[in-house]
């Protein structure tokens, strides 16, 4: 069974302290790796799609990268408003459990 695994489960950052989240996947023949942001009590918000190893996408302080077996979401100089749970998903609709990021002012 294909799996998507995210680490760490939780990440506490000081404002301005950059860090990275990991998403590893087992599905072969990847046809898309998707990142979402979810705020408490709300539906996930689509962030990025990555299709091939080496691809990068950026949005404000977030940058997503993709290798053959994992993806990283880099948060550069985070602000408190970046606090959320970040989810990744493979093209077969399997989601990881998410990484909950808390940014303290």
Partner 1 sequence: SQTIHQWPATLVQPVGSPLSLECTVEGTSNPNLYWYRQAAGRGLQLLFYSVGIGQISSEVPQNLSASRPQDRQFILSSKKLLLSDSGFYLCAWGTGKNEQYFGPGTRLTVT
Which residues in this chain contact partner 1 in the complex, by CB under 8 A? 4, 31-32, 34, 36, 41-46, 49, 87, 89, 91, 93-98
Q: Dump the DSSP string for 21-75.
A: EEEEE--SS---EEEEEE-TTS--EEEEEE-STT-EEEETTEEEEE-SSEEEEEE
Give least dist CB 29 to partner 1, A: 13
Task: Name which of 41 and 54 has its Cβ closer to partner 1.
Answer: 41
Q: Is 14 or 42 the residue whose CB approaches partner 1 more closely? A: 42
């Amino acid at each position: 069974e294909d799996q998507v695994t995210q680490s760490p489960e939780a990440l506490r950052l000081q404002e301005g302290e950059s860090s990275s989240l990991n998403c590893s996947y087992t599905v072969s023949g990847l046809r898309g790796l998707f990142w979402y942001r979810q705020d408490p009590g709300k539906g996930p918000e689509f962030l990025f799609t990555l299709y091939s190893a080496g691809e990068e996408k950026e949005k404000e302080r977030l940058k997503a990268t993709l290798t053959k077996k994992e993806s990283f979401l880099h948060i550069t100089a985070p602000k408190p408003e970046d606090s959320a749970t970040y989810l990744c998903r493979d093209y077969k609709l399997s989601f990881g459990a998410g990484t909950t990021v808390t940014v303290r002012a």
